[in-house]
A and B are shown apart, each in its own frame.
Chain A
Amino acid sequence: MADVIYIQIPFWQLYMFILIPSALLAAVVVWFRRIVHNRSAPGEDPDWSVPPLTDAAGVSLFHRWDVRCKIVTILVYSFVIASLSHLASAMAAMGISLLVLVITRASFAKVVLRLLAITGFVSMFLVVMPFSAPIHNGDTVLVFNGMDWLSFNLRGLQLAATIAAKAVAIALLMEPLLSTAPLPVTLHGLSRLGVPEMVGQMVLLSYRYLHVFRHEARRMSSGMQVRGFRKRTDLKTLRAVGNFIGMLFVRSFERTERVFDAMRARGYRGRFPEPVELHLRTSDLFLAIAWIAVGTALIAYDRIVW
């Protein structure tokens, strides 16, 4: 193996490696936030827990795809992406995910919201890894004059970038997986794949009451604000938050009893009616096989070519 390559860089150029990338990242985050803020007008967010009244089939290839095939294919493909180990193949996976987004015409604002959610965790890797990765033979290391303890390992940066690309590639696929069919249909597909039916029911119920409790929490917190409460870094705030959470739990436990009684009164005996009948066609299988083949090609490229 080749020796470690050291590149000396004047100290004042340190900002090129820290300030400029972080400024770029911050600019992207601000831009994303603005997009989400502009698009999140009330009433625009479709509630997936409500079964569709009209048949929405035919919007795109993904909407017509059998939901069982869709779940299995995307799950397997996600694991394939997660096991890639080179930057080039991870970037290629990201490109494929972008292509899928274009095909399914997924909501741009929602995709951006998902990317914002993973920014914190992923940027921790991008910031920390170049400085913390141990130096091996063959690495290229940037050293700054006058600061011997600080070295910027390009291999660490590459590793972090690969992780980031993989995370983004899989996160981009979540919107096509979920928004191309109503949630009850997706969960029905899951239970037809052998997952216990109760799991799907529990997801559906939690999802429904998530919105109810979010509204409740919002009402409670505006009540607190009206009475003069402002969040600060002090013990008083923590006490208020503790009581707030306690109240949320008391109300939710009381509500479960009422919800369950109402469900039983309407004839709930441990299962919901089937939302749709699923039919598997040859074209569904063909699409699944084609996509898995793309995944296999990616992993072959990742393992053999490099």
Chain B
Amino acid sequence: MHISDGVLPISVTVGGYVASAAIMAWSAHRTNSEELPKLAVVTAAFFVASLVHVPLGPTSVHLLIPGLTGALLGPSAFLSIGLGLLLQSLLIQFGGLTALGANALMMGLPALVCGWFFQKYKGRTQLRQVLVGGLAGASGTALAAIILAILLVTGGEDFFGVAKIALLAHVPVIIIEGVVSAFTIGFLARVKPVLLKPTFTRST
């Protein structure tokens, strides 16, 4: 779920822009500058993956994949997600132009946390990578939902009800996201294990 225009207080939207610009600069710094064009091409693949719909009873949900992005891109994930959200906002109106900074924080921070978590605990066996990957995928969406609720609550007590509903609506997505992430990580571990290390990150 992306925040549209006109929802958040103006101070929160401006603050979101400032904070995400700062993290974006850090993320670009941590990325090998030679590899930035490659990151852009990979971002397109993440964009397409996030449009995949999974049926859920009579309706369907689309994936958010902050957890997977973080696991595969490490610190570069924030840059990639910011870029992807800019494109989503400009091209298909997923997320408002003024709420872009807030949306980048909502998706990018969970990606950084989950990426760190995945790299730290992924271990060596395939089973463990699948389990940790699934956990990272699920907690990525859960964190994004929590940040969304916090952002909505900044609008005042009138927004409490909406924030609760938004949190509840994410529960099925969290489960689906966790399972799909586990399968994706399992697939990559079998097919191309080298991708499970952050690819474009500058070694420090």
> Do A203 and B5 touch across chains, with their CB atoms under 8 A apart?
no
Chain B residue nearest to A75 in the complex (CB): B97
Partner of A118, one of B4, B42, B57: B4
> Do A213 and B44 touch across chains, with their CB atoms under 8 A apart?
yes
> Do B93 and A243 touch across chains, with their CB atoms under 8 A apart?
no
> Do B52 and A241 touch across chains, with their CB atoms under 8 A apart?
yes
> Do A239 and B183 touch across chains, with their CB atoms under 8 A apart?
yes
CA distance in complex: A245, B54 (Å):
12
- Contact A250-B195, Cβ < 8 Å, known A132-B160, A242-B179: yes
> Do B55 and A231 touch across chains, with their CB atoms under 8 A apart?
yes
> Do A171 and B5 touch across chains, with their CB atoms under 8 A apart?
yes
> Do A233 and B37 touch across chains, with their CB atoms under 8 A apart?
no
CA distance in complex: A202, B97 (Å):
18
CB of A131 within 8 Å of the partner chain: yes
Complex interface: stretch among A15-23, A251-259, A275-283, A286-294: A251-259
Complex interface: stretch among A3-11, A26-34, A78-86: A78-86
Cβ distance B43 to chain A, nearest Cβ, rounded Å: 5
Chain B residue nearest to A156 in the complex (CB): B158
> Do B5 and A78 touch across chains, with their CB atoms under 8 A apart?
yes
CB of B141 within 8 Å of the partner chain: no
Count of chain A residues with a beta carbon within 8 Å of a chain B beta carbon: 81
> Do B96 and A252 touch across chains, with their CB atoms under 8 A apart?
no
> Do B166 and A170 touch across chains, with their CB atoms under 8 A apart?
no
Q: Please, which residues of chain A bring their CB within 8 A of the CB of B84?
A: 206
CA distance in complex: A165, B42 (Å):
36
CA distance in complex: A205, B86 (Å):
13
Count of chain B residues with a beta carbon within 8 Å of a chain A beta carbon: 72
CB of A98 within 8 Å of the partner chain: no
> Do B52 and A244 touch across chains, with their CB atoms under 8 A apart?
yes
CB of B180 within 8 Å of the partner chain: yes
Q: Please, which residues of chain B bring their CB within 8 A of the CB of A115?
A: 93
> Do A174 and B182 touch across chains, with their CB atoms under 8 A apart?
no
- Contact A242-B181, Cβ < 8 Å, known A167-B96, A252-B44: yes
CA distance in complex: A170, B3 (Å):
13
Partner of B98, one of A79, A207, A242, A250: A79
Q: Please, which residues of chain B bring their CB within 8 A of the CB of A233?
A: 55-57
CB of A70 within 8 Å of the partner chain: no
Q: Please, which residues of chain B bring their CB within 8 A of the CB of A165?
A: 6
Q: Please, which residues of chain B bring their CB within 8 A of the CB of A129?
A: 158, 161-162
- Contact A246-B1, Cβ < 8 Å, known A129-B158, A212-B44, A237-B55: no
Chain B residue nearest to A79 in the complex (CB): B98
Chain B residue nearest to A240 in the complex (CB): B183
Q: Please, which residues of chain B bring their CB within 8 A of the CB of A103?
A: none
Q: Please, which residues of chain B bring their CB within 8 A of the CB of A237?
A: 54-55
> Do A133 and B184 touch across chains, with their CB atoms under 8 A apart?
no
CB of A122 within 8 Å of the partner chain: yes
Q: Please, which residues of chain B bring their CB within 8 A of the CB of A114?
A: 92-93
Q: Please, which residues of chain A bring their CB within 8 A of the CB of B179?
A: 235, 238, 242
Interface residues of chain A, those whose CB is within 8 Å of chain B, are: 75, 78-79, 81-84, 90, 113-115, 117-118, 120-122, 124-125, 128-129, 131-134, 156, 159, 162-167, 169-171, 174, 178, 198-199, 201-210, 212-214, 216-217, 231-233, 235, 237-239, 241-253, 255-257, 259-260, 263, 268
Q: Contacts A129-B158, A202-B39, A251-B45 given; 12 further ones with Cβ under 8 A?
A: A82-B13, A132-B164, A163-B6, A206-B40, A209-B40, A213-B47, A233-B55, A233-B57, A242-B186, A245-B65, A247-B187, A252-B45
The 10 closest A-B pairs by CB, nearest first: A132-B161, A242-B183, A166-B6, A246-B187, A252-B45, A209-B44, A202-B40, A205-B40, A170-B5, A114-B93
Interface residues of chain B, those whose CB is within 8 Å of chain A, are: 1-8, 10, 13-14, 28, 36-45, 47-49, 52-57, 60, 63, 65, 68, 72, 83-84, 86-87, 90-94, 96-98, 157-158, 160-162, 164-166, 169, 176, 179-188, 191-192, 195, 199
